[in-house]
Amino acid sequence: MQKQVPLTRLLTSPTEDESSSQQAQPREQQHHDANQRFTHTSSRQMRPHARKKTPVKPKTEIVKFPLAHTVSPTFGGLATKSFSHGGSDLPAYVADYTMNTILPRMLVHPTTSSSAWMEAYCQNPLSFHTFNFACAVHADLARNQIVRTRSREVLFHKTVAISLLNRMLTNKSNDLEIILVSVLLLAGNELDERSVSGLAAADLPGMHFQPHMPLCRWISVYGRMEGEPAHGAAMGLLVQQLGGLSKITMPGPADVIAFAELMWASPRLIRPNFTCFWDMDPSILRHHRIQSSEPGLPAPGRGFFTRIPGGLPSRALTTMIRLATIDRYMANCRSRRLQPDEMESLIATRNAVQHALLSLPTWDALTNEEKTYAHKQAYECCFQTAALYSNAVIMAFPPHLGWHVNFVYNLRSIIGPTPAEEWNDDMLDLLIWSLSVGALASFRTPERSFFEDCLKSVLRLRRITSWSEVQSILQEFLWSDAACRHGAAVLWASFRE
């Protein structure tokens, strides 16, 4: 289990690509040179087989991995400068898997954006070797079988990609977008022991939530890889050299880089380094006002306004209500198939709200005016509980890296050992919500008993004896029955034993 260390909300950023390995970084590490040499390779890397001499000596960066007899159906009329045609079917497999499996869930408007990625694969040696390695890692984790990643051929591609990347950085190549995409892919596909050993859910302390969109943006795969802070530092410098995310001309990488940073920052509770890349859809946010008028159903996030003494600072209150709104909206979308434009709008709004949550100031960073009426314990409890719930349900992070263990540990320290005695009576509803989320997040862990016992004490103090009474409180905060129904049933059953 991951060491339980209280999280510090620093500033950082993430990304994907490994050859020039780089993923998410804390802001304080941005002084790293983006042109630094990348020398790390797997300890199991293999040297390529010696090839027979040919009349024309190939360029060192072009490795002659041949293609099967499927050039036309796979690549159409696209020129293939980065590899030759012959007996290996790897390029055809990688092209098919990337275009039909990975990119459709990763790119905005993949039908129009993916062609640029395929062109880079076919025409640029760095992209060719990078994609071959990254595709193998993705396929292995998606299938819970670490087979391709450790093969001689795939390790060879990783080694060559790193060598090419070092050369391009040393020579200060102007092809920064190709470098950026390769760094993104290689840094985002770096396996560690937890990624490999934690393949079975039974090996991990799980959570008792059912995420709204567990496969969205391949979070089930990329959310299982740790990454290195230095990767993000170099990534940030490359983006800076290009003039920012908005200056990237290749379709797709800007959104993927921004999301990779969000994936890095969310489990670590750190502020993203990049400014928010996404726009919120007003029609989704209006869902809050629509539901406010529905009888019998509390407006999303109403409890953050009515059940917290002194209230929350305006920025935090707005963020909490938007989180509750997007949570309710995503829960309603479970029962219908979204059109591509609807899905992209939903994902963009979700990401923007998550970015806003991570960007909230700590209590100490609030102004004196904001602290005047607010309560420190309530503020920190709201933030920690909302981040835990959002990561698990809204963002759908898997538990493989043990991020939730740290969140639960922090939440317990905020709540205190005897909350029923220490918390004011007018804060007990907030406490019921926080303890319930903590209990579901600590399923089958030693911390579970703490949340259960504290929740029992608070419910007795509030003289609550039925689940419907508890549910009516939870629904006013950040809580979806669709995501929590089973976990809540198990929790309530434990109270009846």
Going from the first residue of the chain to its last (497 residues), give the mean pLDDT of each consecutive group of 10, the final group possibly shorter.
43 39 39 37 38 46 40 45 60 91 91 88 94 94 88 92 92 92 88 58 74 94 83 85 94 94 94 95 80 65 92 96 95 91 96 98 96 94 98 95 94 96 94 98 94 97 95 96 96 88
pLDDT of residue 353: 98
User: Packing angle between helix 110-123 and helix 176-187, nearest 10 degrees?
Assistant: 100
pLDDT of residue 40: 39
CB 98 within 8 A of CB 117: yes
CA quadruple 64, 68, 71, 75: dihedral, nearest 10 = -70
Structure pTM? 0.81
pLDDT of residue 294: 55
Distance (Å) of CA 476 to CA 93, 307, 383, 390: 49, 9, 16, 15
- DSSP code of residue 227: -
Q: Which residues of 5-14 are buried (b: 16+ CB within 10 A; e: fewer)?
A: eebebebbbb
pLDDT of residue 64: 41
pLDDT of residue 430: 97
Q: Which residues contact 165 (CB under 8 A, 6 or more apart)?
A: 19, 20, 38, 126, 179, 182, 183, 186
